[in-house]
């Protein structure tokens, strides 16, 4: 590798290894074209799409150009720089949005009437909707039903978004169904002004197609953003709807008040379809009540989880954290309601029709069956309050990225880390690995983390492995990391006028002025993890992953990490950061 002139941003970063990768949501899309007849990436996509047109829906693809990596590469062409959520164009007329989505659905060979066959559970919320879906899916799968589960975003692999019986669909199934849907859309493109779906809409239609083809008994559908204008809201007749905890997030799309956000979330209500919500802030509840009345939708507030217990034994939840208890209660109501409709005669099912639809009622608790209790205990949802122990290094991973979710994360980490420290054989070093993306107020999130008393605060972009060159986007990400570092200093009353010695990579160019505070900025997740763990995690000791030597000053800075009996690392602020970390830390699950 020849030397190049580093940018001003690069010289402020603690390491810049010669690795190559991309953002987590695109990391599977960086494969080269697998076909030698494709002269350009765009030609590759066109060839693959043409092959997709004639593909039978009954057999797996065997034609070159229709392999898994080709599908992943083609999926990248549906990405936009603005992101999925803004493409919902919330300012436009709702009926026009539904009409557009319905048109794409029909072009893909599906109808909204077919979606009624999926016996859908539709869930939205600001915090906890994914966990609620995971609890609900596990409960119903434990009852022996074949489940479909659509969620976003994915952590490592795009296939995680579409699950059958709790498992991401395999590469073969993903490839088969991808080309079926993409081929139909491409074939009809010219007749519709050359329009193609954007990423999230495509995935939503793909999920519906997969669930119909795989003949699931039910589909648990997590809303992307909001509810009213979300493309999942093309669903006409869900069996039951749920709203998890509401808070402030995606303000550029949903509005900057809890009332505006609640208005969007309540858009998933449907006439006569039972809906449940956890306890909400008063202003949010007023809006949800108004939306339910507007939609002639019966709405209930879930009881506390403790109210379900008749034998005085607490529930054992598969997901850690006190905040998961309200998600579990919501999941119990959703699954219980679905089971009653599925298993009981119409005249003996839950008497929704006798309820006054103009108000919100408090739902009474019921005694969960042993299968339900086991379902709650068996639930897994990676990247949310997750603990991984690798010898002397313990990772605490949580994708918290809102104020309320970070509050819950701090509470969980403080309790869980304290338990681990009590069982430690010696002193423990605490390290924060943080990044925030999008419009999030990183400074406000960091302020909540200060009471955790970290020995080091480390910042890096949500990039698994860094590139040797630095484009404008990466420089912007690094600038944000440096801003986060300054925010941390301010919150810790350390000031930002420190002047220190120079940090050098052994035998390489000067990169950074080392601050005399326990903070560092790295260009990628891998370089950050390698420095934090100091060679004590075998998962990061892959010979293919080069560890760059650093000068003595940096080695000395890491002395507390080397001397500690254990290292505890909280990774939070972004699901993309957590996903990038899991790519390196849990290789068995993400092959």
Task: Write the CB contacts of 189 (distance below 8 Å, at least 6 apart in sequence).
Answer: 195, 196
What's the rounded Cα separation, in Å, for the pair 200 and 418? 40
* Domain around 486: 386-494+515-589
Residue 500 lies in a domain: no
Q: What is the DSSP string of 394-439?
A: EEEEE---SHHHHHHHHHHHHHHHHHHHHT-SS-EEEEEEE---TT
Write the CA distances from 559 to 299, 393, 456, 548, 553, integer angstroms: 57, 15, 12, 17, 10
Same domain, 355 and 403: no
Number of Cβ within 10 Å of residue 79's Cβ equals 16
Contact 383, 579 (CB under 8 A): yes
Same domain, 396 and 267: no
Handedness of CA 149, 150, 155, 158 (dihedral sign): positive
Residue 72 lies in a domain: yes
Same domain, 339 and 482: no
Same domain, 432 and 338: no
The SS3 assignment for 92 reads: coil
Supply the pLDDT for residue 588.
84
Same domain, 122 and 202: yes
Residue 59 lies in a domain: no
What's the rounded Cα separation, in Å, for the pair 214 and 267? 29
Residue 48 lies in a domain: no
Supply the pLDDT for residue 468.
64
Residue 51 lies in a domain: no
The SS3 assignment for 393 reads: strand
What's the rounded Cα separation, in Å, for the pair 261 and 287? 9
Tens digit of pLDDT per residue, the chain (591 long)? 445 455 555 555 555 333 333 333 333 433 333 332 233 333 344 434 444 433 333 444 434 468 999 999 898 888 654 444 443 444 454 456 667 889 999 999 999 999 999 999 999 999 999 999 999 999 999 999 999 999 999 999 999 999 999 999 999 999 999 999 999 999 999 998 888 888 889 999 999 999 999 999 999 999 998 899 899 999 999 999 999 999 887 777 788 899 999 999 999 999 999 999 999 999 999 999 999 999 999 999 999 999 997 666 788 999 998 999 999 999 999 999 999 999 876 545 454 433 444 456 788 888 899 999 999 999 999 999 999 999 999 999 999 998 989 999 999 999 999 999 999 989 999 999 999 987 789 999 999 999 999 999 999 999 998 776 667 888 888 899 999 999 999 988 644 444 433 333 333 333 333 334 589 998 899 999 999 999 999 888 766 666 655 556 667 789 899 999 999 999 999 999 999 999 999 988 877
Same domain, 145 and 179: yes
Same domain, 341 and 482: no
Same domain, 300 and 424: no
What's the rounded Cα separation, in Å, for the pair 212 and 73? 25
Same domain, 252 and 366: yes
Q: What residues form the annotated binding site?
A: 152, 222, 250, 384, 398
Which 3-state string (H, E, C) describes 100-116? HHHHHHHHCCCCHHHHH
Q: Among residues 378, 412, 438, which one ends one of the domains?
A: 378
Element (H, E) at 477: helix 472-491
Supply the pLDDT for residue 473.
80
Task: Write the CB contacts of 161 (distance below 8 Å, at least 6 apart in sequence).
Answer: 150, 151, 152, 153, 154, 168, 203, 207
What's the rounded Cα separation, in Å, for the pair 248 and 262? 10
- CATH number reported for the structural domain that contains residue 571 in this entry: 3.90.190.20
Write the CA distances from 556 to 48, 510, 521, 561, integer angstroms: 54, 18, 17, 10
Supply the pLDDT for residue 546.
63
Handedness of CA 290, 291, 294, 297 (dihedral sign): negative
What's the rounded Cα separation, in Å, for the pair 178 and 585? 29
Q: Among residues 340, 362, 378, which one ends one of the domains?
A: 378
- CATH number reported for the structural domain that contains residue 160 in this entry: 3.40.1190.10
Q: What residues form the annotated binding site for Mg(2+)?
A: 152, 222, 250
Task: Write the CB contacts of 543 (distance below 8 Å, at least 6 apart in sequence).
Answer: none
Same domain, 103 and 187: yes
Supply the pLDDT for residue 510.
37
What's the rounded Cα separation, in Å, for the pair 158 and 141? 22
Residue 23 lies in a domain: no
Number of domains in the chain: 2
What's the rounded Cα separation, in Å, for the pair 274 and 144? 23
Tell me: cis bond preceding 153? Omega within 30 of 0 counts. yes
What's the rounded Cα separation, in Å, for the pair 56 and 148? 23
Task: Write the CB contacts of 443 (distance below 8 Å, at least 6 apart in sequence).
Answer: 484, 487, 490, 491
Residue 371 lies in a domain: yes
* Strand-strand pairing, 120-124 and 240-243: parallel
Q: Among residues 350, 378, 406, which one ends one of the domains?
A: 378
What count of Cα atoms within 13 Å lies in the side-chain half-sphere of residue 445? Answer: 28
Number of Cβ within 10 Å of residue 579's Cβ equals 27
Contact 393, 536 (CB under 8 A): yes
What count of Cα atoms within 13 Å lies in the side-chain half-sphere of residue 557? Answer: 23
Supply the pLDDT for residue 104.
94
Supply the pLDDT for residue 205.
97
Supply the pLDDT for residue 406.
95
Which 3-state string (H, E, C) describes 268-332? HCCCCCCEEECCCCHHHHHHHHHHHHHHCCCEEECCCHHHHCCCCCCCCCCCCCCCHHHHHHHHH
Handedness of CA 335, 147, 113, 206 (dihedral sign): positive
Residue 503 lies in a domain: no
- For the chain, the C-alpha Rg in angstroms (whole number) is 25
Q: What residues form the annotated binding site for ATP?
A: 384, 398
Same domain, 257 and 293: yes
Contact 364, 165 (CB under 8 A): no
Same domain, 443 and 578: yes
The SS3 assignment for 129 reads: helix
Alpha helix ranges (H) inside 116-236: 129-142, 171-187, 199-213
Contact 525, 463 (CB under 8 A): yes
Structure tokens at 543: 């010979």
Name the region of 166 (left: φ>0; alpha: ψ -120 to 50; beta: rest).
Answer: left
CA–CA–CA angle 225, 227, 231 (5° rounding)? 75
The SS3 assignment for 172 reads: helix
* Among 476, 438, 577, 444, residue whose Cα is nearest residue 85: 438
Phi, then psi, of 143 in degrees rounded to 5:
-80, 0
* Strand-strand pairing, 502-504 and 510-513: antiparallel
């Amino acid at each position: 590798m020849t030397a190049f002139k580093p940018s001003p941003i690069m010289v402020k970063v603690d390491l810049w290894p010669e690795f190559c990768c991309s953002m987590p949501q695109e990391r599977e899309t960086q494969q080269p074209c697998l076909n030698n007849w494709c002269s350009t990436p765009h030609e590759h996509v066109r060839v693959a799409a043409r092959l997709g047109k004639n593909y039978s829906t009954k057999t797996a693809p065997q034609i070159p150009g229709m392999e898994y990596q080709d599908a992943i590469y083609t999926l990248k062409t549906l990405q936009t720089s603005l992101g999925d959520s803004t493409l919902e164009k919330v300012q436009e007329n709702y009926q026009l949005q539904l009409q557009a989505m319905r048109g794409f659905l029909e072009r893909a060979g599906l109808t909204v009437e077919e979606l009624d066959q999926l016996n859908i559970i539709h869930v939205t919320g600001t915090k906890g909707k994914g966990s609620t879906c995971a609890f609900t899916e596990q409960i119903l799968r434990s009852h022996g039903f074949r489940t479909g589960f659509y969620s976003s975003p994915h952590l490592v692999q795009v296939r995680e978004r579409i699950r059958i019986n709790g498992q991401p669909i395999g590469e073969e199934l993903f490839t088969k169904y991808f080309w079926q849907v993409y081929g139909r859309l491409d074939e009809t493109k010219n007749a519709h002004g050359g329009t193609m779906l954007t990423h999230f809409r495509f995935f939503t239609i793909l999920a519906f197609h997969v669930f119909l083809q795989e003949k699931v008994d039910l589909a648990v559908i997590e809303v992307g953003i909001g509810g009213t204008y979300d493309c999942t809201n093309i669903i006409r007749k869900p069996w039951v709807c749920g709203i998890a905890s509401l808070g402030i997030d995606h303000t550029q799309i949903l509005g900057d008040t809890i009332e505006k956000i609640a208005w969007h979330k309540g858009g998933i209500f449907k006439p006569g379809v039972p809906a449940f919500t956890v306890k909400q802030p008063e202003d949010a509840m007023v809006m949800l009540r108004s939306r339910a009345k507007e939609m002639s939708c019966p709405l209930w507030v879930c009881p506390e989880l403790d109210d379900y217990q008749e034998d005085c034994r607490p529930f054992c939840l598969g997901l850690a954290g006190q905040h998961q208890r309200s998600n579990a209660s919501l999941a119990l109501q959703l699954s219980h309601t679905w089971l009653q409709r599925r298993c009981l005669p119409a005249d003996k099912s839950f008497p929704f029709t006798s309820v006054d639809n103009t108000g919100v009622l408090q739902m009474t608790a019921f005694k969960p069956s042993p299968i339900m209790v086991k379902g709650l205990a068996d639930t897994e949802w990676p990247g949310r309050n997750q603990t991984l122990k690798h010898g002397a290094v313990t990772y605490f991973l949580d994708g918290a990225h809102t104020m309320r979710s970070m509050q819950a994360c701090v509470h969980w980490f403080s309790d869980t880390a304290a338990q681990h420290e009590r069982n430690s054989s010696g002193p423990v070093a605490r390290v924060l690995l943080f990044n925030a993306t999008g419009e999030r107020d990183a400074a406000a999130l960091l302020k909540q983390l200060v009471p955790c008393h970290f020995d080091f605060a480390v910042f890096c972009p949500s990039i698994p492995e860094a590139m040797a060159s630095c484009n404008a986007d990466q420089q912007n990400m690094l600038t944000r990391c440096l801003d986060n570092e300054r925010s941390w200093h301010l919150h810790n009353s350390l000031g930002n006028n420190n002047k220190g010695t120079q940090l050098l990579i052994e035998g390489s160019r000067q990169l950074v002025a080392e601050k005399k505070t326990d903070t560092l900025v790295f260009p990628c997740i891998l370089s950050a993890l390698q420095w934090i763990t100091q060679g004590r995690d075998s998962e990061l000791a892959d010979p293919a992953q080069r560890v760059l030597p650093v000068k003595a000053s940096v080695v000395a800075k890491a002395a507390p990490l080397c001397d500690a009996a254990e290292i505890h690392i909280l990774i939070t602020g972004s699901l993309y950061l957590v996903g990038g970390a899991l790519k390196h830390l849990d290789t068995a699950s993400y092959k």
